[in-house]
Amino acid sequence: MPLPSRERLSFLYRKEEGRLDRAGWRFGVAGLLAILVPMTLLWLAVFPYTDHDLTKDPFFVWQTVAAYAYLVVYALAIFLIAVSFVNLSAKRLRALGRPAPIALAGLLPLAALVAGAMRWLQPRVAEVMPYWPVTLADLALAAVALWMAYELGVREGGEG
C-alpha cells in the first residue's frame, strides 16, 4: 500500500474540519497506533532507569539522563498524538451528525491522560490515595475506548 500524500496526512491529522468515513478513521487510528505502541514499549523498557537514589547512586548516571530525555520526547509525542486523534475523530463524529464533535473527540485522550496520571501518582502517594480511584479511571478509559471504537470505527453512517 502506498503512503498517503502530504495533503491527505494534513487533512487527517492537522485539521478538524471536514468529514471522514469508517475506513478513513480506522486508517488514521492505525497510523497513530503505529507510532504510539513502539514508543510506549520503549518507555516501558527505559522506565526503570528513572529511579535514581542519590544515597546509593552517583550524581550523574547516563542511563537516568537518557531515560528522562526520552521521557521528554515521549511526552511531546503523546500530546501530538492526542491532538491528531481529536482532529481525526471530530471529522468522523461530524459525519455521523453528532453534536459538539470536538468535545466528544477529546473524551478518549482526556480519559487516557487522567488514567495515566492517576496510575503514575498513586504509588507515590499511596498513604493518602487508595487504589480504587485508579481502577475507576481505568474502567472509564476502557468504556470510552470501546464506545469510540464502535461508534467511529464500526457503526455505519456518514459514509456519503
Domain ranges of the chain: 17-153
Closest CA to 152 of 31, 21, 13, 32: 21
pLDDT in tens, 21-48: 899 999 999 999 999 999 999 999 998 8
- Please, what's the b/e burial string for 69-78 (b: 16 or more CB within 10 A of its CB; e: otherwise)? ebeeebeeeb
- pLDDT over 60 at 16, yes or no: yes
- Calculate mean pLDDT across residues 76-85: 96
| 43 and 29 Cβ atoms separated by less than 8 Å | no
Query: What's the confidence (pLDDT) of residue 158?
Result: 67
Whole-prediction pTM: 0.87
Query: What's the confidence (pLDDT) of residue 1?
Result: 59
How does the average pLDDT of the chain come out, rounded? 90
Closest CA to 88 of 39, 32, 143: 32
pLDDT in tens, 113-144: 999 999 989 998 999 999 999 999 999 999 99
- pLDDT over 70 at 157, yes or no: yes
What whole-number distance in Å separates Cα of residue 13 and Cα of residue 122? 33
What whole-number distance in Å separates Cα of residue 142 and Cα of residue 73? 26
- pLDDT over 90 at 50, yes or no: no
Q: Which residue's entry shows cell 476502557?
A: 142
What whole-number distance in Å separates Cα of residue 13 and Cα of residue 67? 28
Write out the three cell numbers for 24: 478513513
Q: What angle, 0 to 180 degrees and rounded to 10, lies between the N-to-C axes of helices 62-95 and 6-13?
A: 80
- pLDDT over 80 at 54, yes or no: no
Q: Which residues contact 140 (CB under 8 A, 6 or more apart)?
A: 111, 114, 115
